[in-house]
Structures are given as structure tokens and as C-alpha cells.
Chains A and B, each alone.
Chain A
Amino acid sequence: MAFIQAENISFAYGQKTVLEDVSFSIEPGRMTALIGPNGSGKTTLLKTINGTLCPRAGRMRIDGRETTRWSRRDIARKVAIVPQDGSLIFPFYAEEIVLMGRFPHLDAYRFEEKQDYRIVREAMEKTDTLSLAARRFNELSAGERQRVLIARALAQEPEVLLLDESTVFLDLKHQAQFLTLLKNLNAERKLTVIFVTHDVNLAAKNAERIILLASGKIYAIGTPAEVITAENIERVYEVDVGVDRDPRDGSPRVTLLTI
């Protein structure tokens, strides 16, 4: 059964159409990559999945229920999103930021309990951010901030994790750690993951399915081998590429050909 189902989603910011007639379905526990050039509507699509943007036409369903019918709180217990970057005007400690992930699980007038702190601790361990706990969020590097935001999303204990370019600022070690973490969560907790990325090879290696967006429409959808072809990439990104197979796992590998 489809867990996330988009039916003919269209969206526009004012006059500018960003998504047009987008349909797809994602089964639970899948790793899906969302790729496409700048301005192709990737982030907008993520936001319609968690219901913060309401599609102008079409329906987005999670677990059979339309996202517009969920309360923000209910949806935040199911779907977590890691935004591209967060900046703050007022100082918060990294640990406080992660604790905020518990918000949808807590009632008003109540402080976090032991269990919440345990969940937060675990999330911070997994993202290698425990050592940052007592530091101010604004004083962290972009990569460290990213990891704190990932920890916050994990503290939400979601069933669906949406990632918007979450690996861009991460160094190689933390990239590897993060991808392993995702795969573990995916295997153990059946976490459904949808990640936006510009790194086509990263998508090809780590996703089970890839959605390729081009100016607000789905250009191709399928397994990495089906979507990552020289023809598709050249058409959508308007560059010359060579595509071969990675000898280690047979996944498609894209090389940018420049003169």
C-alpha cells in the first residue's frame, strides 16, 4: 500500500507555477531521492508532503489521509523535515534546539520528562552532536548546525523523514556516518526517507527510487538504473555527462564532461 501518495499536485507562488500535475506514490520504509536542477520545485514538493504548503490542486495523502486534514501537531509526529539551514536571532543552545523536536509530543504547561531527554540524548549520540550540546547554535559551523537539525528531526521520532540538501555542509566522515544512520533507521524502524540532493551520484548509490523533477514536473521516476541515464541527465541539467556502472555495486555513476 502506498504510504505517501501525491495525486496531480500543482502549486504556485503567486503567478509563478512551481509544481505542475505531480503524481507519485511511495511505499513505507523506502529511501527515495528527489533530484532536479535549481528551481525545479524540489523543496516546494517536500513542503507539500508535510503539509506546510497546501497544493493549489490535487491531493497529498500520508497513510491514506489528506495532509490538509491533519493538524500541524499530528503531522509533526509523523513527518519530520530537516531544512537547508537554520539561523537564529536569539541565542539557543544546541541541546535546546534538539529538545524542540519533542514539541509535538508534549502538552502545554509541561516540561520535558526523563523519557524526552533520553530520546534527545540518543538522537544527539547518533548524529555525533553530544559534544555540541552546551554550545550556542549560532556559533556552530554550517555542518555542525546541520547535524543538530538532523538530531532535532530524529527527536521527533517520525515515520517519515524529509531531508533538504542535508549532506551539503557535512564533511566526508559525517556524510558517511549520516548515510549509514539513515540506512540503519530505514532498516530497523522502517523509516521512510525522502531526500533532496544535487549530488546525482549520492542519489544513485543510496536511494531505492529516484524522482527526477524538471521545471515543476516529474521527468522520470524509478530505480536509479532507470532514472540516471546519460540522456535524462543531459536533457534535464543541460550538461554533457558520461554514465557508467560503479564496478563495486553496479549503480549508475555520472561523470561531468567539461571541455
Chain B
Amino acid sequence: MSLGLLALGILSLSLGSVPIDPDRIFRFFAGGGTGSALSSEERLILFSVRLPRIVFAGVVGATLALGGAVFQAILRNPLADPYILGISGGSALGAIVGIVIGAGSFYLGIPLLAFAGALVTVFLVFFIAGGARSRLPDNALLLSGVVVNAFFSAAILFFLSVVNSMELHSITFWLMGDLSRASAGEIFVAALCLTGGFILLYARARQLNLMVQGEDTAAHLGVNVPRTKKWLLGVTSLMISVAVSLSGIIGFVGIMVPHLMRLAFGSDHRLLLPVSGLFGAAFLIAADTLARTALAPAELPVGVITALCGAPYFIFLLKRKTF
């Protein structure tokens, strides 16, 4: 699977408004990056435009798929996605406020606001669901996530109806997900969060296996449920908030990839988490490649591709194989 991801990466590098032969790219890398297989112009396109974007797509795809898998397990709800705790609404609102007040002219202005929005929302959702007791019942979490998201959607619509057309354009792009704008530093941060998050989550993979069977069962078998749950929700929310604040909202990856992987590899999270991450990365790289080549030189929002390809494929799988 990792090899598949690598091959896909190279293929994706080669595609674009200026096609470059994948064989030459491979020879370039095989030659230690010094050979003359590529012209300097091609190298510029590859390394400052396509490569960062592909890496970023991979990081975001893996983060979303991993987050989806964890949320679905903790909330024991197959419909949960990484945004279910209000992260999408919160970060979108943060980003929009940033765009409206012109924070885009500052370094990291909009991502930071989006990140802050996401974090505030997650805390708000936890607070509403937790109330006085700190047991975080699943349905309360889900419901408060939905309610907070709905409230923020209204706020977003309000902004959309009052801003000027320039702002409207960047807001729309943000809402549909945009993998082209992240800088190398931002990509590095997102990758770091993904790596750290994965290591921390993987350590609790067996606890997740028990949690999907119900919190009582998990407790009977030796899991400290309240602590594990808060910890998992916290790590995952943080990781996703970082990714979303840099990429905008990309749907379908987080909900679909874990399901596909469950169908293919079973529900053991020790396997499910890594394969979800890998496949999420591959899927989003492929979707983004399609997004920038399908109508080249024009670009489609990557979220359009994920939903357009994802939904029918998902339906096909559901029909073919029962849960």
C-alpha cells in the first residue's frame, strides 16, 4: 500500500497543465536528484508547485481519514466524520472572519483564526455535552456538535450575504477546500501533527477496539473509559483542526475511507488506523490531481472531486457487501 502511494505520488507529479513524463521523474529521483533528466523549468514546477501540493494533499487526506476512523469508533456511529464535533463550522467561521477583516495580509493570519475557531468550537461542544458531569455521553456529544455546526452555518450564510464579491470568492474557495495555498512551513506543521497524532492514537488502538463494543464492555475489560475517551477526542480534534485550518473543508474523505478500509481489512484498529491513513492520503492525492488536471488549466475545488467520485463508489460498495 505504501508502494502504491509512492507510485501514485510520482504519477501525480507528472500530471498537470505541463505534463512531464513519469519515467523521467523516476530516473531523476533514482539518480539522486542530480541527473539531467529534467530541465530546470520542469524542476521548478515539480518542486515548488506540485510536490508541496501533493505532500499536503497526502497529509490532509491521512489526517481526515484517521480522524474519521477514531471518531466513528469513539462515538460508535458510522455516520460520524472528522467534522462532527463542530470543527468544520468553527474553523470556517474563523476563516471567514479572517477574510472579512483582511487577516489574509498577515502571515498565517487566516489559518490561525480558523484554528482558533475550531478549538473554541470543540471546547464549546464538550462543554455543552459534558454539563456538570464529565462522562461525555455519545449522543450528547453528537447532538451538540450538530447544533453548534448548524448555528455556525447560519453565521456563515450571514457573512456570505453581506461580503463583497472578492471576499465571496475566497470564502467559497475556502469552504470547498483548497490544497494549493499552504506554504512549506504550514505543510510541515500539518505533517508533524499528523505524525504525532498517529503515534499517540495508535498507542490506543486496542482501547478503540474495545470502545466500539460499548463503554461498559471496554470498562469491564480494563479500559479507563472516561480518560481514554477525552484523550482520544482531544488528540484527534487537535490534529484535524490543524489540517482543516490550512486546507479548508474537504468532505467525504473522513467518513468514507474508514468504511472502505473496514470492508477490506476488518475492524481491528491496529490495522485500520494505518491503512485508513495511507488510503486517505492516496485518495486525496488522486482527487486533487484530478481536480487540477480535469479542466486544466482551470482548477476544480478538490471537495467536488472527493464527493463526485466518493459517493457513487461508496454506494456501490454498500450494495455489494453488507455491513
A residues apposed to B, CB below 8 Å: 47, 50, 52, 71-77, 80-81, 83, 86, 88-93, 96-97, 100-101, 103-104, 106, 108-109, 111, 152, 156
Contact = CB atoms under 8 A, between A and B. Distances in A.
Contact of B267 (A74, A92, A156): A92
A73 B214 CA distance: 17
A90 B262 CA distance: 8
A101 B268 contact: no
A104 B221 contact: yes
Contact of A100 (B203, B221, B262): B221
Contacts of B209: 92, 96, 100
Nearest to A105: B222
A89 to B, nearest CB: 5
Contact of A109 (B203, B214, B216): B203
Contacts of B202: 109
B267 A91 contact: yes
Residue of A71, A80, A90, A108 ringed by the most chain B CB atoms within 10 A = A90
A96 B222 contact: no
Contacts of B268: 92, 96
B78 A90 contact: yes
A86 B213 contact: yes
B266 A93 contact: yes
Interface in B223-281: 223-225, 262, 266-268, 270
B169 interface: no
Given A93-B266, A96-B268, A109-B203, A83 B220 contact: yes
9 contacts: A50-B220, A77-B222, A83-B220, A88-B212, A90-B78, A92-B209, A96-B267, A96-B268, A109-B203
A81 B323 contact: no
Contacts of A96: 209, 266-268
Interface in B163-219: 202-204, 206, 209-210, 212-214, 216-217, 219
A88 B209 CA distance: 11
A155 B78 CA distance: 29
Given A91-B267, A96-B268, A52 B216 contact: yes
Given A93-B266, A108-B203, A52 B220 contact: yes
A50 B72 CA distance: 28
Contacts of A50: 220
Contacts of A108: 203-204, 206
B266 A104 contact: no
B222 A73 contact: yes
A50 B73 CA distance: 24
Interface of B: 72-73, 76-78, 202-204, 206, 209-210, 212-214, 216-217, 219-225, 262, 266-268, 270, 323
A45 B161 CA distance: 59
B216 A103 contact: no
A50 B219 CA distance: 9
B210 A100 contact: yes
Given A100-B210, A109-B202, A89 B222 contact: no
Contact of A103 (B78, B212, B222, B225): B222
Given A100-B209, A108-B206, A83 B216 contact: yes
B220 A80 contact: yes
Given A71-B224, A108-B204, A90 B212 contact: yes
A76 B220 contact: yes
A72 B227 CA distance: 11
A69 to B, nearest CB: 13
A248 B268 CA distance: 49
Nearest to B262: A90
Nearest to B206: A103
A140 to B, nearest CB: 14
Given A76-B220, A83-B217, A86-B214, 7 more contacts: A72-B219, A73-B224, A76-B221, A81-B220, A89-B76, A96-B266, A111-B270
Contacts of B267: 90-92, 96
B212 A89 contact: yes
B210 A103 contact: yes
Contact of A90 (B73, B222, B225): B73
